[in-house]
Structure 1
Amino acid sequence: MDVNKAKSFITDTARPLELAEYRCIFEGGPRRAVAEELKRFQNPDGGFGNALEPDNWNPGSTPITTNDAIIRLHHCGALGEAGDMAEGIARWLRSGEGFLPEKRRWAGSVASNLLYPHAVWWEPGDHEGEGWNPTVSLAAFMACMDGEEKWKELVGEAFRWLESAEKIGGDEAKCFILAHGLLELYGVADVIDLEKGREAVRRAVGLSLCREVEKYGVDYAAGPSAFFCCEGYLPAGIDGLIKADLGAVDRLQMEDGGYDITWQWHTPYEEEFRQAREWWRPRVTMEKLGFYLAFKGGEL
């Protein structure tokens, strides 16, 4: 990887939010700036929308977009700077919007997504509420915010499932990482055994990692770089996967210094997809840069 070109690509093309994240993570910039930029995507009801996730242009609040806001705050260590923003998130989650009471899960996709430009995976279907993305991390956030027993029970149920899960996707694994990280951050020790939970999450990350290394960087497949920010959750024995992913990072850097996305929308929003791609590329490049620097360019 040409590190300087990657950094220049990010600083030249990122939205203000991703630029604030880059400066916080890679340059020791202010965490408050991340919270201030993220606030622009928050709605008066406390939830998040407004193309925070560039694949979904729904301006209204949705569970996964709100979860993405929590991920960004936690990743940058900015939850302590969130103040009213975090209180707003808790208020929206308490409202029950997007929650499926019969399944005791937050929906991954909501009907209002269909009214705005979106990728096909944002269209709701019969599968809603079948997994733990984003329920486990949203419930953990609430367990930390107000400690109600119903949230703790939901988190406990999720981690009991995780202990014996035989299959899990990368996005779902990230929600368990966030959930465990939040419980540790806020010192909430009466929901799960935190050390046992960490081992369960580490095992889940191992399950979610794609072993077909030829897909790294060219398909929507979770390689180790997808978890570069998750220190302490990568399993042992994956040196070969790490080296393969580092090889893809070297091979796939584009002339402008950035990295491309690995997906299409499969919906008839061609102009909006092109814009979303431009918003996504700096974030993808930050992921690759962080992974590359974490492993010192392949020196394991």
Structure 2
Amino acid sequence: MDIFTAARDFVRRDARVLERRLFATVFEGADAQGVVDALRGFQNADGGFGWGLEPDKRCPDSLPLDVEVAFDTLLAAGARDEDMVRRAVDWLASVATPDGAVPLCGPAVEGYPHAEHMTEWTYQPGVNPTAGLVGRLHKLGVEHPWRDKAAAWCAEQLANGFPEDAHGMHEALEFLEHRGDADLDRVREWLPKLAYYRADAADPSYGVTPLQFAQTPDSIWRPLFTDEQLDAHLDRLIADQQPDGGWGITWEPPGPAATLEYRGIVTVGALRTLKAYNRL
């Protein structure tokens, strides 16, 4: 069975409705409204997103991390729902610091099953996820006073230095992409200093790879990496497909259901990357 067919069968069999809808939209021409409708079940009355949209915590409360996943899903589907997004940004504004910064999560996660890495560090407002949320709002074409306030804060933070880990750097690059003054040399110089940056395709450990920074060949961050680097990571991505057709993960979600949900997310993501780089 080929890569795509095996992955399709995995998604149809084991992924949650949201990823099945996203798969159908991206690969089978289904209406993107189906993705929007599936996301509605994760949006709370306060406008934020919760209910384990990002599966590493089973918390129903609205969290910025879940808002970010919602924005990513809309972007992946090519879907737009300005009311849905605007309500989410209104909620972000309500929980932000006076400067506009937000944290990934909050203490509410402690009352529910959650992955071990979901600890106090995720309660601190920071570039991760504030910068990434601002960047995604630019991609979605949604203006909002919070976006402008948070953008000013992010610009000030990044002028003083880049984040020290690859997740934060990924968020920073989402933000910098829309400023029109990306300093590729400065970014390239910083990459080897990042914690959790998986530069070597042969490295089996957890980390952020060049393919996550340059998700498509036309990404402005594509020149950060050589053809050989990207080809090696694409080869590794193909090799990492599991016998059941899905892709595995290198961390421990809070339970079997969350693990399958995350595998559905990364499987659709892997297929999108392979499609973008003409490897399917």
| TM-score (ref. length: structure 1) | 0.77
Deviation, 1:284, is: 1.1
CA distance in 2, matches of 1:75, 1:164: 32
Where does residue 222 of structure 2 map in the other structure? 235
Contact 2:44 2:50 in 1 (8 A): yes
Deviation, 1:72, is: 1.3
Aligned residues: 271
Contact 2:198 2:206 in 1 (8 A): no
Indicate whether 1:119 and 2:115 are aligned.
yes
Deviation, 1:8, is: 1.8
Indicate whether 1:91 and 2:101 are aligned.
no
Where does residue 57 of structure 1 map in the other structure? 58
CA distance in 2, matches of 1:45, 1:104: 18
Alignment of 1:242-257 (within 5 A): 242-257=230-245
Contact 1:10 1:285 in 2 (8 A): yes
CA distance in 1, matches of 2:278, 2:134: 36
Contact 1:173 1:201 in 2 (8 A): no
CA distance in 1, matches of 2:159, 2:190: 13
Question: Deviations 1:79-100 (Å, cap 9, x if unpaired)?
Answer: 2xx1431232122123x22x24
CA distance in 2, matches of 1:61, 1:158: 22
Alignment match of 2:259 (pick from 270, 277, 287): 277
| TM-score (ref. length: structure 2) | 0.82
Question: Deviations 1:48-87 (Å, cap 9, x if unpaired)?
Answer: 00010110111000111112111211222212xx143123
Deviation, 1:283, is: 1.4
Contact 1:45 1:92 in 2 (8 A): yes
CA distance in 2, matches of 1:76, 1:239: 27
Where does residue 270 of structure 2 map in the other structure? 288
Deviation, 1:235, is: 2.9
Alignment match of 2:187 (pick from 193, 203, 210): 203
Where does residue 132 of structure 1 map in the other structure? 127
Indicate whether 1:220 and 2:206 are aligned.
yes
CA distance in 2, matches of 1:41, 1:238: 39
Contact 1:22 1:286 in 2 (8 A): yes
CA distance in 2, matches of 1:180, 1:167: 13
Deviation, 1:115, is: 0.2
Task: Tell me how large the CA RMSD over aligned residues is.
Answer: 3.1
Q: Which runs of 5+ in 1 are unaligned?
A: 184-193, 266-271
Where does residue 48 of structure 2 map in the other structure? 47
CA distance in 1, matches of 2:200, 2:149: 36
Deviation, 1:203, is: 3.3
Indicate whether 1:26 and 2:14 are aligned.
no
Residue 90 of structure 2 aligns with an amino acid whose one-letter code is R
CA distance in 2, matches of 1:154, 1:176: 12
CA distance in 1, matches of 2:24, 2:144: 33
Residue 212 of structure 2 aligns with an amino acid whose one-letter code is A
Secondary structure in 1 matching 2:255: helix
CA distance in 2, matches of 1:36, 1:274: 25
Select between 131-140 and 166-175 the one with higher mean Cα deviation.
166-175
Contact 2:106 2:123 in 1 (8 A): no
CA distance in 2, matches of 1:205, 1:65: 31
Indicate whether 1:258 and 2:242 are aligned.
no
